[in-house]
Amino acid sequence: MISDYFYLLFTISLLANSALMVVTHQSSNGNRISDAPKDQMTESKEWTRDAIQKMWSERNLMGSTPIHVIDPPGLPSVRLVFKNESASLTGSLKHRYSWSLMMWALLEGHVKNGTHVFEASSGNTACSLGYMCRLLGLQFTAVVPDTIEQVKVRRIEEQEGFVVRVPISDRLIIAEQLAKSTGGFFMNQFKNAFHAEEFHESGSASSKPSANLMHELFHQLNSTPPSIFVHPAGTGGTLSSIGRYAKKYGLDTEIVLADTQYSIYYDYVLNGTFSKNTGAHHWVAPGMAGIGYGAMGPAQIAETTSLDPAVIDRVLKIPDLASTAAMKVARDVGINGGTSTGVNFLAALHIGALIRAQNPKNQEIFTIATILADSGKYYETTYFNRKWISEKFKTHGGLPVYDCWLQVIQDCWISGKDPLDIGRKMC
């Protein structure tokens, strides 16, 4: 009884102190709790509801991008599956990606009627996000590297977007400053793709199609998961969404990150390196446009990158000139893609060669899935141009090294041998 009495006094004392803290807090910042009863509507959501409906209509128009299946002559136990995102309405993987970013921004209340949207991009995201903004009647400004291909600038401008060119390392800073100074919203794909990219069976209850690429591919492969999925990372949002989907639904698919030569992602995923310190001083231009993480600050998940190391099973690091040469070989065998497609093609041949060595009698068929992220036509004056390669990749060894890799990859396409192993020794 006495203990109950003291417990009651103790409780009353706590409540009194809490009330005093609240009063003190309220008086210090001027806030007051509203009187009860109250009943009031929040701001109108009519424009947002209409915008979301337009986005779902757009998702229906998107449909499913096609897949291309190719069988390397030297790898009878391997089939390569390319998800052709260049067939999307804005010509790249970033169409579904920008759809997800915009839907997220609408749902979270970041984008409203009249919002001026800003984004830092190497080109493809800006084009696709510009499309989404034009669909919703919003202003859009893209902050792009000053090395951007002119054809990508034209594509952004075709979507009525404004283009601001800056040094590649300044993109995020300038985009954020512009958004703040104009009262706009910085979409920041590097940070927010982590939140926006779906990794679940979205909308099944109301027959809304998922925007997740792995979900779509899984059904296109007759509900048979690929043995391996390989792709590089720019923001990391796409590969993370694929990995998270595979892990959540128990798909027996190995998720492989194919990183570029001077990007920090390889070390970031394996060891957590560069999560506190910048790797910008390691970056060597020109890199592989749109992918890799180099000329920026530390890689911090859901802040400066959306790459989730927890869902990556394996990491590769591939020389940039080798990837550039792989773009040419891929085009010659029917896969006409850009920089990430070159990385993917070379990574797939490497993995396929390892599978061949472990499966010499070809008793089992392995599927290596990857992405044809955008068309090679956007890189005619750069990564497919020998003069440009000679100038921009001079410190990498220029055309002699490029031609060496070209020959190695062509030979390995026929023989089934490992191009990375042979090229490392010869080139």
Query: What is the side-by-side order of every strand in the sheet holding 314-318?
Result: 67-70, 78-84, 366-372, 228-231, 254-260, 314-318
Tell me how crowded residue 426 is: count the other CB atoms within 10 A of its CB.
Answer: 11
CA 128 to chain centre: 13
258 in a domain, yes or no? yes
Q: Is residue 255 part of a domain?
A: yes
3-state class of 159 per DSSP? coil
Q: Give the span between the Cα atoms of 420 and 427, in whole angstroms.
A: 10
Per-residue pLDDT tens over the stretch 259-314: 999 999 999 999 999 988 888 899 999 999 999 998 788 999 989 999 999 999 99
| Calpha distance 162→15 (Å, rounded) | 57
Whether residues 228 and 242 share a domain: the answer is yes
Residues 233 and 170 in one domain: no
Task: Verify that 321 and 408 share a domain, yes or no.
Answer: yes
Enclosing domain of residue 332: 64-89+214-426
81 and 126 in a single domain? The answer is: no
Q: What is the pLDDT, as a whole number, of residue 295?
A: 78
CB 375 within 8 Å of CB 108: no
Looking at residue 237, its pLDDT comes to 93
Cα end-to-end distance, the chain, whole Å: 87
Domain count, the chain: 2
Q: Which amino acid is it at 421?
A: D
Out of 156, 191, 226, a domain closes at 191
3-state secondary structure at position 174: helix
Is residue 20 situated within a structural domain? no
Domain presence at residue 206: no
Contact 389, 399 (CB under 8 A): yes
Same-domain pairing of 82 and 100: no
Asked if 403 and 371 sit in the same domain, the reply is: yes
Residues in Cβ contact with 208 at an 8 Å cutoff, skipping those fewer than 6 apart: 56, 59, 202
Strands (E), 95-177: 117-120, 140-145, 162-166
Same-domain check for residues 288 and 380: yes
Same domain, yes or no, for 146 and 78? no
Residue after which a domain boundary falls, among 176, 191, 206? 191
**Same domain (yes/no): 103, 156:** yes
> Is 375 among the domain residues?
yes
The CATH code of the domain that includes 402 is 3.40.50.1100
Residue 55 domain-assigned (yes or no): no
Residues of the chain with pLDDT under 50: 1-27, 203, 205
The Cα–Cα gap between 266 and 63 comes to 33
Same domain assignment for residues 220 and 141? no
**Same domain (yes/no): 257, 126:** no
Do residues 231 and 146 both lie within one domain?
A: no
Is 202 inside any structural domain?
A: no
Collect all residues with Cβ–Cβ distance below 8 Å to 67 and sequence separation of at least 6: 81, 82, 83, 84, 217, 220, 221
pLDDT value, residue 8: 36
